[in-house]
Amino acid sequence: MVKLFEKGSIGKMKLKNRIVMGPMGTTGEADGGYNRNAIHYFAERAKGGTGLIITGANIVSTKYEDRPCTELSNFHHVDRLAMLVERCHHYEAKVCVQITPGLGRMVFTDPFTPPYSASECKSFWFPDLKCSPLSVEDIHYLVDKIGFGASLAKAAGADAVELHAYGGYLLDQFHSKQWNTRTDEYGGDLRGRMRFTLEAIESIRKYCGGDFPLLVKFTACHGVPGGRELEEGVEMAKILEEAGTDAIHVDVGCYEAWYKAISTVYNKPAHQIQAVKAVKETVSVPVLGQGKLSEPELAEQVLEEGTAYFVVLGHQMLADPYWASKVKEGRFYDIVPCIGCNECLYAGFSGKHYYCAVNPLCYAEKDYMLPEKNKDKKKVLVIGGGPGGMEAAITAAQRGYDVTLFEKTSRLGGNLWAAGLPTFKHDVLKLIDYMENKIHRLGVDVKYRKDSSAKEIIKGNYDKVVIAAGSTSLMPPIPGIEFAVPSTDILTGKKPAGKKVVVVGGGLVGCETAAYVKEAADEVTIIEMLDDILVTANHSRNNDQALRDMLAERQVNIITSAKVKKITANSVIYEAAGKESFISCNTVIIAAGYKPNDSLADELDGKVKSLSVVGDAEAPRKILTAVHEAYHAIRVME
């Protein structure tokens, strides 16, 4: 890993390596300043060896919209930002503060007030709201505030600022013909549409001086009909370089195709790389590239081939703050993988701080630290080797306990195998590899093909018993259900699917199963009772978009508001809109949900010293709930 750990520079800013933590939103105090959790969160990534940390967007004024995350508009925001910068500097990481004039049509916090934008257009999150165009005076006000906000970042000790001009947010709305229909000096041709951004660059130079490093993150192509094409993106990069930008951070996508901007489990590695390469071949300033580059060998290759000058990692840094140091030490096996679930994003857009499904300490680095190892060698029994069970075993071993894990099958992983075996979800398999490896390195006593009886467990006199037995597929009482197979049997390869397939259930599992079997089947149909698919998925919009687009591309048929009445050996009979119909098929797959494996819980209740039921054994939910519940069940042990 030679290139990753070469020194680099952006303007006069010297960097110890080519690894960058990308900008991601963080919560702040009521006044918009950074809070203590955010400071610890960034410091942990600096401690982990990252060369450059780019903060999430700091809005420079709330005159036109609510702050989305943090704010940098007045003197009183400086002190906590200074604390953040100082703590990162202790680990020789540099800090670049991202600043924004706002989100425009992408405002997601206020469903009642029409946002401002470049022109009149629909709000993305609240389509009933029409945006009002910013006046020329408004633009001038924001331009000045951008320069002032940058000066506050500089006063706080930041090493650079990055102008937030991408992703369909306010500045990018001005850049794009699909949202900017102005006829004044801030519309028209490309330079007119970029005028707001170019004046913002001038304002930053005015307030901060010509030597203060300035990055601009922009969208090279939107990837949607009517959006920016790469040819125009390359021209924009040239203009940004001419304007005196010290580095260009390349982005792809917009919220209409959000998964092209923020990676999901469904994206292929390096999915933005062609845009990055096109910009890198056009400009002479350093180019930052992103887009699912978290495999160390791939990140190194991108630098070796000269596709980018810096590699930017986003959600991978949430999953493992120590990615850089682990790569440097050759400990690839110990990297906690990002599984592309975007629970982090889902939490942020729900008004919470970022959570990470596979890292319970994300944004709680101090609050959720494990206590020091106990001198008492407590005995812990974990029942079940899925994500919850593995996390409980790992955490208990890290606390110094004597840990035994009972797994009824011949391998660890539980339902992660069904989740990760589809060709487009192999990121999940990396989590199994990581957790299984960790379990064995920590010396957990794993007993495979081990069924658990309450009598044996009680006799073991354990200090703590964690039931993480997972869940099994629910088979609804439909006449002819014996002709159907559960989705887990298909996903894990226990049973093959035929050429004409019907999937009963259009939730997350049903849709993923349908997309997967369509790779070999001639015809696949989803039948869903509700009026749309993925209604119960409770996942981030970008994951939803990616999966829907995959189903459309693979030509999966979808029937909604329909109830299956009967299954036969070669057909499914269903009712929709008061009319009974049938589909001929040779495989019927049931994806109607899961039921918890919780029988032991009642038998052990009150009969062991301490009992916790976690993950799907409590109620079928997500990887996040399994991992977090298991971690905290052990963390709070006394």
Orientation angle between helical segments 508-517 and 541-553, nearest 10 degrees: 30
Tokens of 465: 């018993």
Rounded Cα distance between 88 and 39, Å, is 9
Rounded Cα distance between 413 and 388, Å, is 9
352-357: list long-range contacts, CB under 8 Å, 24+ apart: 352/27, 353/26, 353/27, 353/37, 354/24, 354/25, 354/26, 354/318, 355/624, 355/628, 356/315, 356/318, 356/319, 356/624, 357/622, 357/623, 357/624, 357/627, 357/628
Contact 305, 265 (CB under 8 A): no
Query: What three-state secondary structure class fits 218?
Result: strand
Residue among 251, 316, 268, 599 nearest 426 (CA) = 268
Contact 203, 171 (CB under 8 A): no
Largest CA distance in the chain: 81
The sign of the torsion formed by the CA atoms of 333, 335, 338, 344 equals: positive
Contact 384, 411 (CB under 8 A): no
Tokens of 567: 């299954």
Kind of pairing between the strands at 247-252 and 287-289: parallel
Going from the C-alpha of 523 to that of each of 54, 507, 509, 586, 591, the distances in angstroms are 46, 19, 18, 10, 17
String of DSSP letters for 402-429: EEEEEESSSSS-TTHHHHH-SGGGTHHH
Rounded Cα distance between 109 and 65, Å, is 9
Rounded Cα distance between 165 and 573, Å, is 52
Rounded Cα distance between 159 and 52, Å, is 9
Rounded Cα distance between 41 and 598, Å, is 36
- Of 169, 266, 434, 462, the active-site residue reads 169
E strand intervals along 131-257: 132-133, 160-165, 214-221, 247-252
The radius of gyration of the chain's CA atoms, rounded to the nearest angstrom, is 26
Q: How far apart are the first and last CA of the chain?
A: 43
Q: Which residue has the tokens 């301490």?
A: 610
Rounded Cα distance between 156 and 80, Å, is 8
Is position 434 annotated as part of the catalytic site? no
Instruction: Just list the catalytic residues.
Output: 169
